[in-house]
Amino acid sequence: MEREKPVFCKGGGCTAKLGPGALRRVLEQIPKVRDPNLLIGYDSSDDAAVYRLSDDLAIVQTLDFFPPMVEDPYTFGQIAAANALSDVYAMGGEVKTALNIVCFPESMDLNILGQILLGGSEKVREAGGVLAGGHSIADQDVKYGLSVTGVIHPDRVFANNGCREGDVLLLTKPLGVGIVCTASRVGEASQAAMDLAVKSMSTLNKYAAEIVKKYRTHGCTDVTGFGFLAHLCEMLGDQFSAEIDQRAIPFIPECPEYVEEFYLTAAGQRNRNHVQDKVRFVDCSFAVEEILYDAQTSGGLLVSMEAEDGERALEELKTLGLPCGIVGRVVKRGAEAVVVQ
Amino acid sequence: MRLDERGKQCPLPVIEAKKALEKAEPGTIVEVVVDNEIAVQNLKKLASHKGLESTSERISSQEFVVSIQAGTGDGPVQSGSSGQSAGPGKNGDAGQSVMSGQGAAVDSGDVRGEQEEGEISCQPDIRDKGMVVVLSSDQMGQGDETLGRLLMKGFVYALTKQDKLPGTVLLYNGGARLSCQGSDSLEDLKELQAQGVEILTCGTCLNHYGLGEKLAVGAVTNMYEIAERMSGAGKLVRP
C-alpha cells in the first residue's frame, strides 16, 4: 500500500474556522477576569485585544493562523500574514512585532516551509513590523499564521460595535473569495477570478485603514470567516439595524456562476445557520445570499462612518485598486438586524 | 441511485449530487449519504434551489441520507446562471423556503452542538489522526483473566470518552475477539467508528479463531497494513 502523499491545500483559510455558534458556546463557559486596562477583550466579539499601558499608549494583540487555501506556498504565506495583521488594522492600530506560528509535516519538503515563511515575512515588512521569532510544531497538516502586537492610542480605538444611526457602511474589498477558492479547489475557477481573489486576500488592510482614519469613522471590523452578514450583525449589536443595497456590494464577478454550480463551503452554510434569523432578503437572488454568507479569508474592512464623509472616503479607497463600495446604512433597530434589498 | 459521500470534504458531496441529478432520468431518486448535518443542509439547499423534492433522514450522528428526486429537465434554474436574470424574485422565494427548512433540520438535531464540533468536513475534528491504539488481547494486563477482560472493556469504553480520539484502532491476536459478535466492547468500538476512528482487525487472526464471519465493526486488515500503521504512528497506545 502506498503511503499517501501529503496534500498541501485541502481547502483552508478562514473556511476552516470553527462555526460562530460552536465557538460562542465554549467561550461562554470561560470565566472572565476583569482588568480596567483591558479596553477591548472578547466581550464584544472584537478582532483583537487592546490593553492600556499608559494614558497615551495601548497595545493591540491578535493571532490568527489557518490551513492553506491556495496551492502556492509563497502566496499562502502572504495571505495568512495579511489576514493575521488585519486584526490590528481593524482596531486602528499600527503593527510593531510579529511571531510566526507554524504547523508542518515532517515528511514534507522544507523548501515549501521556506516559501511560506518568506511570503509571510514580506507582508510583515510591508506592514512596517519586525518579525521577531516564532514557534513550530510537527503536525499532520500545514498551518501558518502570525501572532501580532501593535500599538494604538487608547482614545483612538475603532471598536467593532461603535456604529451610529445614520452612518454609511463601507466595505473595502470584494466578497466571494471563499466561493472562488472552493471553485479553484475543484479545478473550476477562472484565472481572472483566482487572480482577483489572491490579490484581494494578500492586500494589507493597512492602506484602507489609513484612509478611513482620516474620516469620522465610528466602527470598524474586518470581514473574515463568519462572512459579511455575521460580522455586520456583530457590529450592529442590539441597538441598530442596517439596510444593505444588494447592487452596491462589491464581489468577484464570477461568483454568481460558481454559486450556481454549488461550489459552496460548509463554512458558508454554518454562517447562514448562525445569522439567518436576523436577516431578511427582499428580491435577492440566491447568489447574493451566498455571497453575503461566504466565509472570507483576509477580507476587507467593514466601516461604519459619518454619512457625509462616505463618498469622499470611497473615492480614496477606489485608488487602492480593489472593488469596494458603500454597501448600506445604519438605521434604528427594526424587526431584523439586517435587510438586504 | 446511491452516492456514498461520507468522508468527502465540502463542496464535493453537493457537486457530485448535482452531477448525478443532471444525468439521472426524471423522477429517479438520488440518495446521497453524508456524514454531517451541514452537508445535509447544503444538499437540501441544492434541491430547493433547483426546484426538486428532497427528504433527509438521520441514521446516526455520522450518517445522514438525503434523497432528491431528479427533475423533468424544465426545473426553474436547471441551466446554470441563465436563470439568474429571469426570476430573481423566484430565487429569493426559494431561498426563503430553504431557510425555514434548515431551521427545522437544525432544531430536530438535539445534539447539534456535538455534531458541529465533531464534523469532519472543513474544520478540525477531535481525532488525533497520528494516534494508533493497539489491542493485542481481549484482556488488559497480566493476572486474573476475568479481571483482565473487565479492564479491557473499561479501557475501550474510556477511550470513547477521551478529548482526543485515536485515528486508528488495530486489533490482532486475542484482540480480534473484541470487534466480533458477542464482544462486550462492540458498542464502544462502533461509537469510535461513528466518530471517524478507523477500526482494523487482523484477518489472519479472525480466521485462526474461527471468527471470519463474526466481525461486527470496522474492516479486515493484513500484516502489511498493521506494520505500516504502527511504524507510521505519531503515538502508539498499548493498554
- Give the model confidence (pLDDT) of B121-165 as tens digits: 333 456 777 899 999 999 998 888 889 999 999 999 999 888 888
For chain A, domains (ranges, CATH) are: 13-156 (3.30.1330.10), 168-340 (3.90.650.10)
Helical spans, DSSP H, in B161-222: 186-194, 203-208
Q: Say if B236 is an interface residue toward chain A (CB within 8 Å).
A: no
Contact at CB, B38 and A266, closer than 8 angstroms: yes
pLDDT for the residue B107: 32
Q: Are A323 and A173 in contact (CB under 8 A)?
A: yes
Q: Enumerate the residues of chain A whose CB falls inside 8 A of the CB of residue B116.
A: 19, 21-22, 270
**How far apart, in whole angstroms, are the C-alpha atoms of residue B83 and residue B78?**
8
Any CB–CB contact under 8 A between B113 and chain A? yes
Residues of A identified as active-site: 14
The Cα–Cα gap between A99 and A124 comes to 10
For chains A and B, count residue pairs whose Cβ atoms are closer than 8 Å: 111
C-alpha distance from B123 to closest chain A C-alpha (Å): 5
| Shortest CA gap B71–chain A (Å) | 16
Yes or no, beta carbons of B116 and A270 under 8 Å apart: yes
Q: Is residue B164 a contact partner of residue B131, using CB atoms and an 8 Å limit?
A: yes
pLDDT of residue B76: 45
| Phi, then psi, of B67 in degrees rounded to 5 | -110, 125
- Could you say which of A3, A22, A283 has the minimum Cβ distance to residue B116? A22
pLDDT at A23: 73
What does the pLDDT average to over B17-39? 91
Give the pTM. Answer: 0.67
What is the length of chain A? 341
CB contact under 8 A, A269 and B80: no
Mean pLDDT confidence for B45-67 = 90
pLDDT at A193: 96
B chain contacts of residue A289, beta-carbon cutoff 8 Å: 95
Could you tell me if A66 and A145 are in contact, meaning their C-beta atoms sit under 8 angstroms apart? yes
Chain A: give the shortest CA distance to residue B228, in Å: 9
Report the C-alpha gap between B187 and B179 in whole angstroms: 9
Domains of chain B, with CATH numbers? 2-118 (3.30.110.40), 127-237 (3.40.1260.10)
Work out the pLDDT band at B60, boundaries 50, 70, 90. Answer: confident
Interchain CB contact of B33 with A (< 8 Å): no
d(CA A249, CA A324): 8
Cβ <8 Å between A265 and B10? yes
Compute the mean pLDDT over every residue in chain B, rounded to the nearest whole number. 77
**Cβ-defined contact of A285 to B88 (cutoff 8 Å):** yes
3-state secondary structure of B12: helix
A264 touches chain B (CB under 8 A): yes
Taking 60 as the threshold, does the pLDDT of residue B74 lie above it? no
* B chain contacts of residue A264, beta-carbon cutoff 8 Å: 10-11, 14, 42, 45
Q: Average of pLDDT values for B218-238?
A: 86
For chain B, positions 155-184, list CB contacts with chain A under 8 A. Answer: none
Say if B95 is an interface residue toward chain A (CB within 8 Å): yes
Q: What residue ranges of chain A have pLDDT lower than 70?
A: 1-17, 19-21, 42-47
Q: Is the backbone peptide bond immediately before B11 cis, with ω within 30 degrees of 0?
A: yes
Instruction: Quickly count helices (H) and strands (E) in chain A.
Output: 11, 13
- Note the pLDDT of residue B207: 86
Parallel, antiparallel or unpaired: strands B63-69 and B29-34: antiparallel
Residue B229 — very low, low, confident or very high, per pLDDT cuts 50/70/90?
confident
Instruction: Determine the longest span between alpha carbons in chain A, in angstroms.
Output: 67
Stated as kind and residue range, the H or E segment containing A152 is strand A143-152
CB contact under 8 A, B102 and A276: yes
A261 touches chain B (CB under 8 A): yes
Which of A1, A3, A262 has the CB atom closest to B11's CB atom?
A262
Q: Per residue in B155-214, pLDDT tens? A: 999 998 888 889 999 999 999 999 998 899 999 999 898 888 889 999 889 888 888 788
Of A49-63, B106-120, B220-234, the range with the lowest mean pLDDT is B106-120
Residue of B nearest to A281 (CA): B92
Query: A152 with A53: CB under 8 angstroms?
Result: no
In chain B, where does DSSP find H-type helix?
12-23, 37-49, 82-86, 88-108, 112-118, 145-160, 186-194, 203-208, 223-232
- The CA distance from B87 to the nearest CA of chain A, in Å, is 8
Q: Is A67 in the B-facing interface, judged by CB distances under 8 Å?
A: no
How high is the pLDDT of residue B122? 35
User: Cβ–Cβ of A272/B102 closer than 8 Å?
Assistant: yes
The residue of chain B nearest to residue A17, with distances taken between CA atoms, is: B123
3-state helix, strand, coil in chain A (%, to 5): 40, 25, 35
Taking the alpha carbons of B185, B191, B195, B198 in that order, is the dihedral positive or negative?
positive
**Angstroms from B144 CA to nearest CA on chain A:** 39
Q: Do B103 and A1 touch (CB under 8 A)?
A: no
- Residues in A touching B10 (Cβ below 8 Å): 11, 264-266
Residue with cell 473574515: A224
A210 to A50, A60, A92, A181: CA distances (angstroms): 19, 16, 8, 28
Closest CA of chain A from B92, distance in Å: 5
Answer whether B9 touches A (CB < 8 Å). Answer: yes
Residue B238 has pLDDT above 50, yes or no: yes
- Cβ contact (<8 Å) for B123 and A266? yes
Across B14-21, average pLDDT = 91
- List the A325-332 sheet strands across, edge first: A217-222, A301-305, A168-171, A325-332, A240-244, A338-340, A279-281
Alpha-carbon torsion (A82, A86, A92, A95), positive or negative: negative
Interchain CB distance below 8 Å, A1 and B84: no
Could you tell me the pLDDT band of residue B10, with boundaries at 50, 70 and 90? confident
Q: Give SS3 for A2.
A: coil
Alpha helices in chain A, H assignment, sequence order: 20-29, 73-90, 110-126, 177-185, 191-202, 206-213, 227-236, 255-260, 266-275, 286-293, 310-318
Name the amino acid, one letter, at A96. K
User: Which residue from A264, A265, A281 is facing B95, i.e. has the nearest CB?
Assistant: A281
Q: Report chain B residues whose CB lies below 8 A from the CB of A225.
A: none
